[in-house]
Structure 1
């Protein structure tokens, strides 16, 4: 049950801040700045670029780099947490 609440607590804000539901340019400045912390924002930009505009790597590389950095950060944090749990 906690996983369901956690999914809702993270999922709904991520969807709204990603630009999928509302355009990021139409959000208040605080939420525009906050949207840079949501990996879904970069995923939506990549998907729109590929599916709707047909753009290539030369346009999408900043968003792909941001997604890769998020992945590295999450893997690092997960490995640190795993090591702490195993050490106990």
Structure 2
């Protein structure tokens, strides 16, 4: 039988953090899908409306939405609460080893 490197509670904590991160990541997938759909719709609008208003509504606005969503995703991953929990878990692992 193989020996575990860390106590069982450490592995349980890390798995809980991973599951929580995946579940909280659904909103990122939702917004990314919305931005992609808006971009596809913009190509359809742009092909039918060949004027300035069609360009603004069909291309510039969805592009702005996509950029804002990207910024939200970057901020979300930078200030994500589960990442702080992850750092705490690894600190616990470090203390249990020493």
TM-score tier by shorter-chain length is 0.3 to 0.5
Greater relative contact order structure (CA < 8 Å, 6+ sep):
2
TM score, norm. by length of structure 2: 0.38
Greater C-alpha Rg: 2
